[in-house]
Structure formats: structure tokens, C-alpha cells
Amino acid sequence: MFESISEKLDRAFKILKGQGTITEINVAETLKEVRKALLDADVNYKIAKTFTEQVKEKALGQNVLTSVSPSQLMVKITHDELAGLMGGQMSELNLKGSPTIILIAGLQGSGKTTFSAKLANYVKSKKGKNPLLVACDVYRPAAVDQLKVLGEQVGVKVFHEEGSKDPVSIAKKSIAHAREMGYNPVIIDTAGRLAIDEEMMDEIANIKKTVNPQETLFVVDSMTGQDAVNTAKAFNERLDYEGVVLTKLDGDTRGGAALSIKSIVNKPIKFVGLGEKMDAIDVFYPERMADRILGMGDIVTLVEKAQEQFDAEEAQKLQRKIQKNQFNFNDFLSQVQQIKKMGNMKDLVSMIPGMGKAMKDVEMDDNAFKSIEAIIQSMTPLERESPEILTGTRRKRIATGSGTNITEVNNLIKQFDETRKMMKMMTGGNKAKLMQAMRNKGKR
């Protein structure tokens, strides 16, 4: 995500490395590169120019502390300005209403229907709500079927009317149905077009006027850069929506839409889509995004993702098993599956400060866990419970059954044994032994 601009900004700040003071000359050189990085990221020229002028004004107006280098100070100022450019503060979803009505708008292909289902899953799993999805795209072939399939995946009911071609009527009836059945919020998926046209705008404006939603969210494909910003502006002039949703952000190496959209429409980015899975949706935090753009990682989001998969009761059981040296392959498999639920591996690694840059050229296959799972699942229940009985003959059988080779099986068992020893030392409080083991591991 935003790989291109991150690299270019990193090169820009290197101009100040080794400089003892901030001067007009070295700041001008750095900001010339910063402005170029923003323009290459498809950021609007006026925004890029204003941004660099603000950074320059703040940089020249500050004294560099003895403990802070000029490049560090410039990174800090740029970080704060980037966060401000993207909105400054996280913007909450308004869920006040009986029921709350959320209207989803955007062009065809922007990911509206998928986002509608993701949002339903989000409010259900994170906010404890009982949402209703509403199919108001009566034009696109199979649009209703798509929403029904996605609704089934996330366990959310979908309201639709067979044969109806009146989206305003469908939306109105869905709210009466939600009140009667106790659904809240109501998420209305509307029709898109391949381009902005008056008929589409009239229709979505009529739906909004009829249902009076608490939230109208504009969904846009972030990879379309300035086109995304221009479309956002056209929709806002007609709909006056409450917030923006940027989809396909995981595939956006430039970042122009995320950096420009708030300045152009003066509406916050509320959510970002980061993949196809139904839980691949994040609340947008401008400060955290600025961290990631500048290669500082995003440890807060990483911890939050880990906590979502964390079960306190299971963790206590696991700790007791480790203390008794009973940690087995069933537990190992369970830990692997929890990590997988956290999301795309390369994206997770990039959240660790400094790791995004270090791992940028490393291929990280999300299928890397498949062979581990296949090997463990090819073991008998007894072998999983008692790893010490895994003789050479058993290992050969496991390799054949899992479609791997004996080396992969041996490596996994070795990795498992080392993990178990480390865990035992950690829970046993024997820090000295643990440190020695880690030193020995590093010497191999």
C-alpha cells in the first residue's frame, strides 16, 4: 500500500541527513522532492503546492532541538501535515436512529455491493447490531443475487422485491420491514453506472430524500486516483454525503485519492477496503495512515487485529498446557489459524515499524501456511496429541498424505519443538535460559 510515495518521501528526507541545521536552501531541496512525490502519487497540484508551503513555514519557524536531527524534525512536521490533509481525526459512523439508515452510493465497479456486505458484517460483529441489507440495484444483472450471496456469507438478511423496478419504493418498504422485525441499521445498496449521469443522480437523490438517512457513504475505487477525487466532488455536490469509503486500498501503490479527497470535498474518509474477504474493512485513522506512508508502521492497528482473535479463556488454557509441557500440534494449528484470520501477511508485516521497507521486495505468499496445515492435518489424533511418537516411518506417511516431502515435515517438527521449549521458558520465568537459547539460535 502506497509503496511508491513511501519510497520517494524517504529519498526526499535523506537530503537533510547529516545536516546540522534547517535552512531555506536544504528545506527547499527536500520539499521539491516531497512535492514531486505527491504529484507522482496523483495528488492534485494545488494541494501538493499548499501542502509543501505549510511544511516549509512550520519547518523554518522551529528550532531544532539538540536531540532531534533536521531530517527527524522534517519527518515529524510532514507526518502531522499528512494526517491533517487526510482529515486529522477518525470520523465515527453515525449509528443513532431507530433504525439507523445508511445509504451507499457510487459508480459501477467501485465495490458498493461488496462494501455494503462488509459494513453489515462490521456493525454486526463489532457493534453488536442486527443489520438489514437492502437490494436497490434493480438494473445490473445478478446484483440482487450477489447481495443475497454476500448476505448469506455474513449471516445478514437481505430485503428485496422480485420484479420491482422502483428503488425508491423498495427502500421505503425496507425501513417499514426493519421497524416491524427489529433490524438496525438498514444498509441500502443502490445502483451505479459506468459514468456519472443525470438519471442516476436523480434516482439516488430521490432515495435520499425519501428515506432521510443518518449516513450517506460514497464508495470509490482508490486506484483510480484523481478520477476518484473528481467523481467524489460531483457526487457530493448533488448528494451532500457524510463520508467517503476508499475500496481496493491494498492495491493502491500511489495514494493520490486518500491524500486529496478530504481537501476537495471536505468530507472525512470513514472506511477503507483492503481485500475481498468480508472482514477486510478498516475504520480510517488519518494519523495511522500517515505513519504507514512514512514507513513508521502501524503497531496500534496490528495489536487491535491480534486482540480481535484473542480469546482470554483459551489463552489461559493454553498457558496451563505450556506450563505442563503439554503444548501439542492441535494447539500449534489453532495458533496458525488465528494468525491467518488477522489478514494479508505482507500487510501485517508492514504494520511493524521498519519492517515495511525491509520486506518490500520479499514475496510473502498468503498460502505459506497451507503446507503447515496439510502436514498437521495428515497426522493421526494421537500423533497431534503426542508429537514425541513421530518416528521416521510416521513422518514418511505424513509427508505422503500431505503432499509435501520429508524435509518439510522434519523442519516443521523441529520448529514446533523449538517453539515449545521457548514457550516453556517464558511461562516458567526462566529468562536467563531463554536468552541463552535465543543467542545459541542466532549463532547457527
The domains found in the chain, sorted by start residue, are 3-85 (1.20.120.140), 101-294 (3.40.50.300), 304-443 (1.10.260.30)
pLDDT at 425: 64
What 3-state DSSP class applies to 328? coil
Nearest to 349 by CA among 294, 416, 292: 292
Question: How would you class 160 by CB atoms within 10 Å of its CB: exposed for 0-12, middle for 13-18, buried for 19 or more?
Answer: buried
Residue 292's SS3 state is helix
Going residue by residue through the chain, which has 444 residues, state the pLDDT in tens, using 9 for 90 and above. Answer: 567 777 778 777 777 766 666 777 778 888 888 888 888 888 888 888 998 888 888 887 665 554 456 777 788 888 888 889 888 888 889 998 889 999 999 888 888 999 999 999 999 988 999 999 999 988 887 889 999 999 999 999 999 888 788 899 999 999 999 999 999 999 999 988 777 778 888 888 999 999 999 999 999 888 877 788 888 888 898 889 999 998 888 766 677 788 888 888 899 999 988 877 888 888 888 888 888 787 765 555 555 555 565 666 666 676 677 667 778 888 888 777 777 766 666 566 555 554 455 445 555 555 667 888 899 999 999 999 998 899 999 999 999 999 999 999 998 898 888 877 776 665 555 444 444 544 454 444
The pLDDT, as a whole number, for residue 372 is: 85
The answer to whether 127 touches 185, Cβ cutoff 8 Å, is no
- Measured N-to-C along each axis, helices 370-377 and 329-341 cross at an angle, to the nearest 10 degrees, of 150
Q: Please report the pLDDT score of residue 120 as a whole number.
A: 95
Which amino acid, 343? G
Check residue 64 and give its pLDDT: 53
Cell numbers 511418537: residue: 389
> 293, 250, 246, 300: which is closest to 269 by C-alpha?
246
CA distance 413 to 181: 53
Rounded-to-integer distance, Cα 82 and Cα 292, Å:
11
- State pLDDT tens for residues 279-309: 888 888 888 888 878 776 555 555 555 556 5
User: Contact 81/52 with Cβ under 8 angstroms?
Assistant: no
Strands (E), 70-114: 101-106
pLDDT number for residue 437: 47
Residue 441: the pLDDT is 45
pLDDT at residue 426, as a whole number: 56
pLDDT at res. 177: 94
